Chains A and B, each alone.
Chain A
Amino acid sequence: MLEITHISKTFFPNTPNEVNALRNVNLTLEKETFTAVIGTNGSGKSTLLNAVAGTFELDAGQIRLAGSNITGWPEYKRAKLIGRVFQNPFAGTAAEMSIAENVVLAIHRGQRRSLRTAVTRSLREEVADRVRSLKMGLEDRLDNPIGTLSGGQRQALTLLMATWRKPELLLLDEHTAALDPKSAAKVAELTRDIIKQDKLTALMVTHSMQQAVDLPDRIVMMHKGQIIRDFQGNDKRRVRIPDLLSTFDRVQKKELFDESVAELLYGAYA
């Protein structure tokens, strides 16, 4: 279970570039649930994900995962509990190393690394078996550098790696955004299957309304560093893309109105 309480983050404070990326965000993910975060550019959805992953220090608030307060943990220590897939297909694997070597690194995610040989014969068989389930023919290419794979293949493999050891939390950062439509659909399908099969708790940032409606159990909508809507249970089951779009529209209209009013008032009083 993930509990995010009152977290805030301001980038470049006290400069002209100041960004209030997260403003007092609260979010609790129940065990074995799949939540999507959607929002406009700059809404703070990726920042929220990175806050959980630990890529920066929070200004305020607390993050608890699986009973531990991980707020002060460095990124690499959180990896014991968290599996991650990045937006950039190149980010999640070491390009010059072989498929088998990349997978072996993931099998021991967050564990001590011994001086025993990493890629053994029995391990290769285990890897080949699991990789075969991707139906991409990668089981015959275990010794090829990962850099020779397509973006979709790399992303599918990264997903497999992130979930090889069952993580307490799976973080997906727009992991299909950089793929062609066909690969994106395949990776999305794989994501749903793995999460369902392994009963994972997952948090996914996405640009795709379709994905947000199709895959998860819950949709959280963010805007300007805050959570503005939360579709759960029956709400989520009923929600369709037009509903999401109209919610965005309302928020944006309200904002336009606010700004024009502010300008008006400014003109009157200055």
Chain B
Amino acid sequence: MSLIFGAFTMGLILSLLSLGMLISFRMIRFTDITVDGSITLGAAITAVLITQGWSPWLAALMAFWAGALAGSVTGVLHTRFKIQKILSGILMMTALYSINLRIMGRSNIPMLDTNSFSDGMRALLLKLVNNADRINVMGWQVSLIDAAVLIMMTFITVIVGFLLYRFLLSHFGTALRAAGINDQMIRAQGVDHHGMIVFGLALGNGLVGLSGSFLAQYQGFADVQMGIGMMVWGLASIILGEALIGKNSLGLQIIAVVLGTILFRLLIAIALRWGLNPNDLKLVTSLFVFMALVAPQWFRKLSGNFQRGKGHA
């Protein structure tokens, strides 16, 4: 049972990453691989600050700002210096690897017995269940710490999702979305679309940094390698969510991304339980994204063939 619980918690934590990528990948249409570096950046900053006695919430805030800074550098590389989108991200991601090592001072920082964002909730739960260390959730025995993290992450995800929803419906957010669809149109409406790209990447990577912060606090360590493949995971989650729920409205799209991320973590957990070698995880994820990207083309081609009749000259 702790498997499903853990997958849920991880899914909620990483849904912040997926929401960040929803802005970069879907809204401003920027395939942004900075994500691999900025999630580690968020974790690294959090680990250093918390082990130095900072409040977990302040550390998370700093992780957000650091991610936003990294994202805006990627944006400036693309808009100001005319470097291709994907290459701007690769440059920043590579630079972040060294920056993260510099911040941490070594490749791994353990965070045992340090403060965490779920401490308050844990104390509250302790009081509610009279100092038992496990609680009963619908017949399952769950450790108090896991329950506290899950509750907090649910709150945080709902708040972030709601704020994002309000933002995207605002005048500013509407302009941001239009900048991703038609840059000529939005310039003609008096909006600096380069500025919008930089802002979108900053906000997106800020959320990714925040995700990294909570991830480090949940896992109990920050590791310089932890970001590898995160961008593809986020992509897979977005695609999965959209396939299941669709993207007919902004609200649905946000819900789809969160549920897609949770479902994807569940699928991974189940696959691992069935004996999938963890080393193969990234290969399987890449294959999944590949399939998800080409399947619609195949279907279109197939149905096209049927409509035209086979053997069409």
- A contact residues vs B (CB 8 Å cutoff): 53, 74-77, 79-80, 83-84, 86, 90-97, 101-102, 104-106, 108-111, 113-119, 162
Contacts and interface: CB of A to CB of B under 8 A. Distances in A.
Contacts of B184: 86, 91
A108 B171 contact: yes
Nearest to B188: A84
> Which A-B residue pairs are the 6 nearest by beta carbons?
A110-B190, A79-B190, A94-B181, A113-B172, A113-B171, A94-B178
30 contacts: A75-B187, A75-B188, A76-B191, A79-B188, A79-B190, A79-B191, A83-B188, A84-B188, A86-B184, A94-B185, A94-B186, A95-B182, A96-B181, A101-B174, A104-B171, A105-B175, A105-B178, A105-B191, A109-B189, A110-B189, A110-B190, A113-B172, A113-B174, A115-B167, A115-B171, A115-B173, A118-B169, A118-B174, A119-B169, A119-B174
Contacts of B187: 75-76, 79
A76 B186 CA distance: 8
Contacts of A74: 192
B200 to A, nearest CB: 13
Nearest to B193: A76
A77 B188 CA distance: 9
Contact of A91 (B173, B182, B189): B182
Interface in B51-104: none
Given A97-B178, A105-B175, A108-B190, 10 more contacts: A75-B188, A76-B192, A79-B189, A101-B178, A110-B189, A110-B190, A113-B171, A113-B191, A115-B172, A119-B169
Contacts of B122: none
B265 interface: no
A174 to B, nearest CB: 15
Contact of B170 (A77, A91, A109, A117): A117
A70 to B, nearest CB: 13
A8 to B, nearest CB: 24
A117 B169 contact: yes
A74 B193 CA distance: 11
B301 interface: no
Given A114-B171, A118-B173, A76 B181 contact: no
B190 A116 contact: no
Nearest to B172: A113
Contacts of A83: 188
Contacts of A118: 169-171, 173-174
B198 to A, nearest CB: 14
A111 B181 contact: no
B208 to A, nearest CB: 22
Contact of A115 (B170, B186, B193): B170
A94 B170 contact: no
B278 to A, nearest CB: 39
A253 to B, nearest CB: 38
B166 interface: yes
A226 to B, nearest CB: 27
Given A105-B175, A110-B190, A116 B170 contact: yes
A74 B79 CA distance: 14
Interface string B149-187: 000000000000000001101111111011001101111
Contacts of B188: 53, 75, 79, 83-84, 86, 92, 109, 162
A102 B177 CA distance: 11
Given A93-B185, A96-B181, A111 B172 contact: no
Contact of A114 (B166, B172, B177, B186): B172
Contacts of A115: 166-167, 170-173
Contact of A117 (B166, B177, B181): B166
Given A76-B191, A77-B190, A118-B170, A113 B175 contact: yes
